[in-house]
Structure 1
Amino acid sequence: MAIDLQQIGKRFRFYTNLKELDMDQLKAMTGSDEATLANIISGKNYLLDDLVAIVKNFKELNPQWLIYGEGSMFKPMNGDGTCDDHHKGCLKKDKSAYLQQMKDMLIELDAAEVAKGHHPDVEALKAKLDQYRATH
């Protein structure tokens, strides 16, 4: 499976917008410089080593989703139902504008995935239907 830097950038931007992290917060959290972070977010050329060094600072972010668009954005919950949530909190933005921004970004991500010919959810549902038919 090929790695698409632009898709990674879109997914990382989606995650950081969801968490309401600005550039100064990202720099402080990751120890990375603004140019590297800006390149990742915009999907420009960057080293995967830089991405890995940054991603390890986000304990709840699923790297499989970030890199390949597979699975959930967040890692599964711990056995006790908890997860690393020290960045969760109340929305600082106007809720309706924030939700519209997230919806627009989801549409953009979905359109990019469809354009690449990816239909993971549809294919997974088809496989489950086939499995169900085979057993019943």
Structure 2
Amino acid sequence: MAIDLQQIGKRFRFYTNLKELEMEDLKSITGADETTLNHIINGCNIVLDELVAIVKNFEDLNPQWLIYGEGSMFKPMDEDGHCQDGNKGCLKKDKAAYLQQMKNMLIELDAAEVAKGHKPDIDALKAKLDQLKATQ
């Protein structure tokens, strides 16, 4: 499977927006410089070794989702609602806000995926989001 640097950037930007992380927060958390972080966020000139080193600092972020768009954005939670790293609560925002932002991201990614011929995948994700909203 090919790695799409622009999609990695969009997913990382979505994750950081959802977690309400500003550039200063990212620099502090990762120890990376602003240029490297901007390259990742903008999906250009990404060095995969740097990306891996940065992703390790976000223990709730699923690297499979970030790089390939597969699976959930967050690593699985246990029965008590703890992330795999043992911290309570992966999100600052409530579930409804998360679902709305995820839906907005799907709309943004839809154009790129349709161009690649993945329209059924996007439709399936939208249907799943609608199901989740209906259960709230």
Give the shorter-chain TM-score range.
0.7 to 0.9
Separation in structure 2 between the aligned mates of residue 23 and residue 89 of structure 1, nearest angstrom: 17
| 1:13 aligned onto 2:16 | no
Separation in structure 1 between the aligned mates of residue 90 and residue 78 of structure 2, nearest angstrom: 17
Q: Corresponding residue for 1:128?
A: none
Note the C-alpha offset of 1:46: 1.8
Query: Superposed, which structure 2 residues align to 1:62-77 within 5 Å?
Result: 62-77=62-77
Q: Corresponding residue for 2:46?
A: 46
Note the C-alpha offset of 1:30: 0.3
TM-score, reference length from structure 2: 0.73
TM-score, reference length from structure 1: 0.73
Note the C-alpha offset of 1:109: 1.9
What is the CA RMSD across the aligned residues, in angstroms? 2.9
SS of structure 1 residue aligned to 2:25:
helix
Alpha-carbon displacement from aligned partner over 1:3-33 (angstroms, at most 9, x marks no partner): 0100000000000011110000000000000
The 1:76/1:90 distance shift into structure 2, 3 A limit, reads closer
Note the C-alpha offset of 1:80: 4.2
SS of structure 2 residue aligned to 1:57:
coil
Alpha-carbon displacement from aligned partner over 1:40-73 (angstroms, at most 9, x marks no partner): 0000112000100000011111111000001111
| 1:89 aligned onto 2:92 | yes
Amino acid at match of 1:89: K
Note the C-alpha offset of 1:78: 2.8
Higher gyration radius (CA):
1
